[in-house]
Amino acid sequence: MVSPLPRFLSWLMLLLVAPGLAVGASTMDETVRYAWGSSIGWVDWRPSGEDGAVIGEFVCSGYLYAANVGWIHLGGGSPANGIYYGNETGGDFGVNRLDDGALRGLAWGANIGWVVFEEIGDPRIELEGGRLTGRVWAANVGWISMEDLEVITRRIEPGLDSENDGIPDAWKLLHGGSLAALPAGIDSSGNGLSNLESYLAGLDPFDPDAALRITGFSRQEEGLGGALPTTRLDVEFTVVPSRLYRLWTSSVPDAFDEWTASGIHGPGSGPTREVSIERAGHHERLFVRVEALRPLMPPMVEAD
């Protein structure tokens, strides 16, 4: 059981997306890209760099291709409400990507009809590594599985940012109803985080209690008096399903190049996650920083 950590030691490192990634280019791996349908054979998630599947933060777009049935359309990338495909009309269909990586919605193949991404087959993207798992269903050809070999996306597109402020339009529309409702530099919740910081951390911008926070901390020294002493830290922190996390430790908090990363950690299944870190040597004091990461996003830089 970990003890509470003083609030001033709970730090938040946030990241911004770097510009320059080609819009519409397939996000799928150039080699690891094939699903399998027993009735239709191989289904290619990247038939070409321009026409292949694009996995977005909110919606998917682009095409799959199977030699026996032709093209399967994941959606046009522009849902009617600006957030998710409604899948109630033929003009607003497609596959949505939910916060936890689940893929839900409808794709369309002219030769096989609707391809359903639903709870039974549970198609989803693993936040760590981008592997697609599960199955999708088409009434005319049965199950199409991502499990027989592997299908991997190398990145997730953040989507349209018409105001060029680091926040996708879909996130503003989802939480605020309009682009003007959530200016990037404003703290709409009064919790000390700007709307941009709330987006980057995956938090509700109107919830005053939402925060990326270290909630518990314990320390144990091992090997004291021996040749290789080790300091172990058990750190508990708040999480959300849509983000990955990296912990940093330092004995000199003001020196950026003195921080040591612990690796990437998934969010787990609850509101908090506990991670153990080991640092070689004896340390009189150690500071801990939690970094929220948007999974599989394009190259990032540190925010001020």
Q: What is the pLDDT of residues 6-41, one digit of tens each?
A: 333 344 444 333 333 334 699 999 999 999 999 999
Token pair in block for residue 197: 């910081």
* Residue ranges, the chain, pLDDT below 50: 1-23, 299-304
Residue 256 lies in a domain: yes
Q: Are residues 39 and 122 in the same domain?
A: yes
Both 147 and 216 in a single domain?
Answer: no
CATH number where 262 lies = 2.60.40
Q: Is residue 187 part of a domain?
A: no
Structure token digits, residue 151: 């299908």
- Answer yes or no: do 11 and 103 share one domain: no
Report whether 74 contacts 94 (CB < 8 A): yes
78 and 104 inside one domain: yes
3-state secondary structure of 14: coil
Domain count, the chain: 2
pLDDT of residue 156: 96
Q: What is the pLDDT of residues 183-204, one digit of tens each?
A: 999 999 999 999 999 999 999 9
Quick check: is 190 in a domain? no
Q: Which amino acid is at 271?
A: P
149 lies in the same domain as 49: yes
Same domain, 74 and 148: yes
pLDDT for 23: 43
Rounded (5°) CA angle 203-205-207: 85
37: its two tokens:
């349908």
Q: How many residues does the chain have?
A: 304
Query: Is residue 158 included in any domain, yes or no?
Result: no
Domain-located, residue 84: yes
The domain boundary, picked from 134, 153, 172, lies at 153
Domain identity same for 119 and 231: no
The parent domain of residue 97 ranges over 28-153
How many other CB atoms are found less than 10 A from the CB of residue 128? 14
Instruction: Assess if residue 34 is contained within a domain.
Output: yes
Do 125 and 55 form a contact (C-beta atoms < 8 A)? yes
Is position 226 within any domain?
Answer: yes
Determine the Cα–Cα distance for residues 268 and 202; give it in Å rounded to an integer.
15
Cβ count near 253 (within 10 Å): 17
Given this model, what pLDDT does residue 47 score?
Answer: 96
Do 140 and 251 reside in the same domain of the chain? no
Q: Are strands 300-302 and 15-17 parallel, antiparallel or unpaired?
A: antiparallel
- Distance in angstroms (rounded) separating the CA atoms of residues 183 and 191: 15
Residue closest to 226 by CA, chosen among 151, 301, 282? 282
